[in-house]
Structure 1
Amino acid sequence: MNANAVRAWAMVAVQGVLFLTVAVTAFLRDVGPALFTSLWLALALVLVGSAGVIASGRNLGRSLTPSPVPNEAGLAASGLYRYARHPMYTALVVICLGVAVGSGALLCYVSVVVLAVFFGFKARMEERYLRRVYNGYDAYAARTGRFLPGIGRRKG
């Protein structure tokens, strides 16, 4: 396994640990102050995020891989990917935010912030690979937001 593959799969492992951290910290309501809690909002966030994950997965098709290294199945630029380059990451953060809102645990909210920052790093790593593999990636990135429509378009 080359160094890029090791680095890529290490990112996948870190992602898994961060998801577990969100899940575990959701039960630590007695550690630190309780923050905003709303079961209805939590449910809505989890449902919207889940719909985003499902739609993103369908849009990716054979291109879907947990690794930031593209798998030669082609660049996904339709569906949700027409509006954002990483809608799957956005949807996963929305789900985890729903978990935090449902628990109200400070550490869970902190874990979601750490996960969101991590996805920023992972997205930048993934985009370096995508620029090397797909000639049209820079043009796609210039017109498409990174995580949300219109926000984080690549310049130059």
Structure 2
Amino acid sequence: MYVAIQLSLFVIYLLPVKIVSTHLPEWLRYSGLVLLCLGVILGAVALLQLNTNLSPFPTPTSNGTLITTGAYRIARHPIYTALIFCGLGYAFYNQSSYKALISITLLILFYFKSKYEEKLLLKHFPEYRQYQQKTRRFL
């Protein structure tokens, strides 16, 4: 269910909809580009670290290992964080309140999806509890 909603939100994000005309200061628009770039870097590092553990579904892979270094040292869910950064960053740069709203909706979805995912991770990796206490959910 989470994956279907997530994919739907990604598709909706791509639609060329303009709800309200938004004009942001130049510094905020270009801060969006910085946020977008940080999101791309964080996401790329996290994806490279996951390697064969990568799955679109919240369930951990049966032969997976718990990764707590690199991108996973600064956030328990760096890919979700990266997607939120990219979505908000591009929304700011593009001055799109519509895309910002979809990004905030993704943040809410990722919060609930990660809570579900973490229940499964706790069953699969007993040491996840200690990792949870040391590392924030999102950046």
Structure-1-length-normalised TM-score:
0.80
CA deviations 1:86-139 (Å, max 9, x no partner) are: 111101100001221122122221111101111001100100100111111111
Deviation, 1:32, is: 2.1
* Equivalent position of 1:45 in the other structure: 35
The one of 97, 104, 111 aligned to 2:95:
104
Task: Give the equivalent residue in structure 1 for 2:76.
Answer: 85
Q: Size of the alignment, in residue pairs?
A: 136
Structure 1 residues 69 and 35 mapped into 2: Cα distance closer, same or farther (>3 Å)?
A: farther
| 1:28 matches 2:17 | yes
- Between the aligned partners of 2:118 and 2:24, the Cα distance in structure 1 is 35
Distance 1:129 1:61 in 2: 19
Contact 1:130–1:137 under 8 Å retained in 2: yes
Q: Which amino acid aligns with 2:33?
A: L
The TM-score, its normalising length taken from structure 2, stands at: 0.89
Q: Which residue of 2 aligns with 1:62?
A: 52
Partner Cα distance (2:118, 2:25) in 1: 35
> 2:136, 2:77 → 1: CA distance?
8
Residue type matched to 1:28 in 2? V
- Residue identity in the other structure for 1:115: L
CA distance in 2, matches of 1:92, 1:76: 19
Unaligned runs of 5+ in 2: none
Equivalent position amino acid for 1:132 in 2? K
Question: How far did 1:144 drift?
Answer: 1.1
1:114 aligns with 2:102: no
